[in-house]
Amino acid sequence: MDALVAVAVRLTAADRLAHLAGDPALRAVAEAVASVLRVTAASVALHDAATARLVFRAAAGPAGVGIVGLSIAAHEGIAGYVFSTGQALAVADVAMDPRFERTTAERTGYVPRSLLAVPLVDEAGIVGVMELLDRRDGAPFDLIDVEIATRMAAATTAVARAVTVDREAGQLLRTVMAAMGEAAPGSLDDPAVEALIGAVSERLATDDPLWRLADRVGRLRAADPDDIELAIDWLDALLAHSGRRALSGRRR
């Protein structure tokens, strides 16, 4: 019971720190991108650190339905190239590009003629790739398309981060409960439970400090009230500093 409570505290903290969404939110973003850029299909692939693969989690357009659930190696195909390099890529004729995986495209039921892929990236790193297939007017993707897709990818990245938290929440619970089941009876007191859950939180996402922060917030429940007030003061100072950095960046 103590372990479940401790896990729940971490999940609640993560929920508040990154508003949990889900694949429907990704699908809504994909639909918006497909509409704005007038493409045949749009898809969103997120990186799964545990398997080192890109998993297509959402898609829009009749031509994009077949790709949901498909996964590829993180270095494979045009999506893998964009994920690995962090560079957007527009391909006018995929048949002429050696990076294009035709076999993978055929598995989805639709082989595009042209393709635009942009990374889903923020200050913490790259979380995935957004792909757009075939402009409906038949023209190749141009620099304006790349700019618009890149701007929309920023919003998609925020949603993707939340979806990643949602997935990792289940991983946290499964890992901790499995460890509890393997522990000898009576060997895990409150400090041991806290240490176990903290260790799992540290491993969840090496490129995202969210779970480390959630773990620290969870541990505060056992802290002295004066220490909690001190932690709040530190967070206020951090937020003020971040606000000044953001304002300075906008001025530049």
Lowest mean pLDDT among 39-43, 126-130, 198-202: 198-202
Q: Which residues on neighbouring strands pair with residue 122, listed in sequence order?
A: 125
pLDDT for 141: 95
pLDDT digits (tens, 9 = 90+) for 159-216: 777 666 555 555 565 566 666 655 555 555 666 666 666 666 666 654 556 666 766 7
Lowest mean pLDDT among 103-107, 179-183, 220-224, 240-244: 179-183
Of all residues in the chain, the percent with pLDDT exceeding 70 is 62
Is the pLDDT at 134 greater than 70? The verdict is yes
Written as one string, the DSSP assignment of 139-166 is PPP-HHHHHHHHHHHHHHHHHHHHHHHH
With cut-offs at 50, 70 and 90, classify the pLDDT of residue 92.
very high
User: In sequence order, which ranges of 18-134 are alpha helices (DSSP H)?
Assistant: 23-37, 77-85, 102-108
Q: Give the CA distances from residue 79 to residues 54, 74, 84, 90, 166, in Å, rounded to whole numbers and listed in that order.
A: 8, 8, 9, 11, 23
pLDDT digits (tens, 9 = 90+) for 223-239: 777 777 887 777 778 76
The amino acid at 246: A
Strand order in the sheet with 115-122: 71-73, 53-60, 39-48, 125-135, 115-122, 89-91
With cut-offs at 50, 70 and 90, classify the pLDDT of residue 22.
very low
Average pLDDT over the chain, rounded to an integer: 77
Could you tell me which residue, 72 or 19, shows the higher pLDDT?
A: 72
Does this model's pTM top 0.75? My answer is no
Is the pLDDT at 85 greater than 80? The verdict is yes
pLDDT digits (tens, 9 = 90+) for 140-166: 999 999 999 998 888 888 777 766 655
Domain ranges in the chain?
Answer: 2-17+166-251, 23-164
Lowest mean pLDDT among 72-76, 89-93, 104-108, 167-171: 167-171
| Beta strand 115-122 pairing with 89-91 | antiparallel
Q: Does domain 23-164 have CATH number 3.30.450.40?
A: yes
Mean pLDDT of the 8-17 span: 57
With cut-offs at 50, 70 and 90, classify the pLDDT of residue 19.
very low
Is the pLDDT at 118 greater than 90? The verdict is yes
